[in-house]
A and B are shown apart, each in its own frame.
Chain A
Amino acid sequence: METLQLLALGFEQALTPQALLFCFVGVSLGTFIGVLPGIGSLTTIALCLPLTFHLEPLLGLIMLAGIFYGAQYGSSTASILLNVPGSAPAAITCLDGYPLARQGRAGVALFITTITSFIGGSFAIILLIFFAPVLAKFAISFSAADYFSIMILALTAASTLSVGSPVKGLAMVTLGLLMGLVGTDINSGQFRFTFGLPALSDGINLVALAMGLFGVAEILNNLASGKAPEPLKEKISFKQMLPTRDDLKAMRFSCLRGSAIGSFIGMLPGTGPTIATFMAYAGEKRLSRHPEKFGQGAIEGISAPEAANNASVQAAFIPTLTLGVPGDAIMAVMLGGLLIHGITPGPQLVTTDAALFWGVVASFWIGNVILLILNLPMIGLWVWLLRIPYHFLFPAVLFLICIGVYSVNNNSVDVLLTLGFGIMGFFMNRFGFPSAPLLLGFVLGPLIEENFRRALVLSDSQLSTFIERPVSLVFLLLTCALLVYSFSRRASAADESDTRVNP
């Protein structure tokens, strides 16, 4: 088995004391910031991203992966205990997690979250190990036209399958694509949309954009809408975390079903954890003999979506690493992080840079294990962090945003841009324009332009190349089907009632 040999090689690299240390630092840091109330996982990752830039690629990636897991876990802890979901998937966990917390069983809810996240993540990592090389082999024959169409599908899915208006989602993707063009055009060397600012000649800084749209905008939202998160009152000890036999029984199969749904959804381009958690929750409710218990603190109601959440974010690395096409905003930030480290994800990463690829895969799993052993005993510390009042937190986070963005290029214009994007994100939120598609469009913008250009050069400027190549045709047809579906669904939903969920 060639795969297993390569995997062993990967573990060899990821188990060096240095790699373990950075994985540990990443996981702790990610959980630490992720658990702070009112800070979502994307903000956490963007906030920690500059800290990895100074490391060599493999160590930087290992730390980044650790931050990524920690951030996911920390945010779900905060959302269960405080009932302030930092993201759409966390909102699903809150449906049953918060009622459990109100019944004095918050400890059990956290335990179940930890275990199911670990199982979901591990499930998807196994899939990644065996499926990524196969997909990479297949994808090596993809042409520029195929990549263009996959990216179009990913962008369409990400903007229309989320909550809210699909038109607004598409508009934000387009705006993101346009913002991705800012900087030097690689083909002609001309500056585009730089407004004469030298700081923009390399394009808009990804960290500045992500921190503005998510970090600053979240804080403005909380304060200017009067929705500052309340600090936690109760205490939780390790003893309270131990589940009963019935809890474990309820968790067992629902967690596996959640993992399977999550892994499948996560692999598809453009469909992220939001859809995965929602489908896992709906599926459990339908399967259950007591559907009325959902929303009242059903164990299945947290174990399935949490497993699905972690499985899908993990499985989302399959298209991100093998095709270079991220599925959601968090993956887009991760992809941006990889690019900054000088790593271009794609089929050639799996084949030519095997040591790096497998080192990262191995460290994914190690990160998961560290998360498990870090979180069960240290739950007291994380819960203590939830007691920090918001009036201490928000100036501190704003300070971290300022100095974090500054440190990327040692440039204060980037901090000004962050503020601008923050104000923009704040008003986008108020008017129901989603920020996640914008970020995804921003990262994919240059790639889409380049693949479109290359496809046309290769085909003697025949636009028909996009429908003559079978792979490209399939993805374009899927895109059309998706557009028809989301607009017809929207039309019928608008007839019944205008159900609105915060993005």
Chain B
Amino acid sequence: MDYGIGSFTRMGAGFAPMALGIALAILGVVIFLEAWKTSETWLPPAWRPFLAITIGILAWVGLVETTGLFIATFAQVIICSLALPSPRWRNVIMLAGILAVSGYALFVIQLGVPLEAIG
């Protein structure tokens, strides 16, 4: 495929990406130079909550179309709750149950989203 830049009369599909890309590159250099002058150190985030939330959402995406909404929701809520230092599992399971049932009622039954409860 050809992403031509074209002329001003007949702008090709590549014109705007090219112009914006150049602008962004220049701004990037300016930000780099600004940051060079200051001496801020960066604090790494707390990895446990970061990973728990990331993996929890990935689990929902991976499971929802194969094993159904219920299992995906339980997996998501349980994995995301690992973001906390000491999750109270009884509450977490209850929350997952409430969310799965009410999510099914609202989105699948009411709004017609084509998902199975259990796949």
Contacts and interface: CB of A to CB of B under 8 A. Distances in A.
Interface string A202-229: 0000000000000010011001111000
A219 B9 contact: no
B31 A167 contact: yes
Nearest to B86: A391
Contacts of A456: 8-9, 11
A449 interface: yes
B34 A403 contact: no
Q: Interface residues of B: mostly helix, strand, loop or mixed?
A: helix
A115 interface: no
B67 to A, nearest CB: 13
A408 to B, nearest CB: 10
B45 A174 contact: no
A193 B115 CA distance: 29
B95 A412 contact: no
A224 B46 contact: yes
A346 B28 CA distance: 34
Interface in B1-38: 1, 3, 7-9, 11-13, 16-17, 20-21, 23-24, 27-28, 30-31, 34
Interface string B67-106: 0010001001100110110011001100110010001000
Contacts of B7: 461
Nearest to B52: A223
Contacts of B84: 391
A167 B64 contact: no
B16 A220 contact: no
Contacts of A181: 16-17, 20
A165 interface: yes
Contacts of B92: 395
B57 A398 contact: yes
B21 A178 contact: yes
B64 A412 contact: yes
B61 A174 contact: no
Given A167-B34, A412-B65, A399 B99 contact: yes
A391 B60 contact: no
A190 B13 contact: yes
Contact of B49 (A192, A223, A415): A223
Interface residues of A, number: 58
A385 to B, nearest CB: 15
B77 A178 contact: no
A220 B49 contact: yes
Contacts of B91: 391-392
A292 interface: no
B117 interface: no
Contact of B20 (A174, A391, A423, A453): A174
Contacts of A177: 16, 20
B111 A407 contact: yes
A396 interface: yes
Given A187-B11, A187-B13, A219-B53, A399 B76 contact: yes
Contacts of B49: 220, 223-224
A353 interface: no
Q: Interface residues of A: mostly helix, strand, loop or mixed?
A: helix
Contacts of B95: 392, 395-396
Contacts of A140: none
A398 B76 contact: yes
**Residue among A392, A399, A460 with the most chain B CB within 10 A?**
A399
Contacts of A402: 57, 60-61, 64, 76
Nearest to B103: A403
Interface string A379-395: 00000000000011011
A400 B9 CA distance: 47
Contacts of B21: 178
Nearest to A498: B38
Given A220-B53, A395-B95, A188 B107 contact: no
A42 to B, nearest CB: 19
Contact of A178 (B20, B31, B34): B20
Contacts of B57: 216, 398, 402, 415, 418-419, 422
A344 B37 CA distance: 46
A354 interface: no
Given A220-B50, A460-B9, A396 B99 contact: yes
B46 A223 contact: yes
25 contacts: A54-B112, A165-B31, A167-B27, A171-B27, A188-B13, A224-B49, A224-B50, A391-B87, A391-B88, A394-B83, A395-B76, A395-B80, A395-B95, A395-B99, A399-B76, A402-B57, A403-B69, A403-B103, A403-B113, A410-B114, A419-B58, A426-B50, A461-B8, A461-B9, A463-B8
Interface of A: 50-51, 54, 165, 167-168, 170-171, 174-175, 177-178, 181, 185, 187-188, 190-193, 216, 219-220, 223-226, 391-392, 394-396, 398-400, 402-403, 406-407, 410, 412, 415-416, 418-419, 422-423, 426, 430-431, 449, 452-453, 456-457, 460-461, 463
- Counting from the closest, the 3 A-B pairs by CB-CB distance are A461-B8, A223-B49, A461-B9
Given A178-B20, A185-B13, 13 more contacts: A54-B112, A171-B28, A171-B31, A177-B20, A187-B11, A188-B13, A192-B17, A220-B50, A225-B46, A419-B54, A452-B11, A453-B11, A456-B8
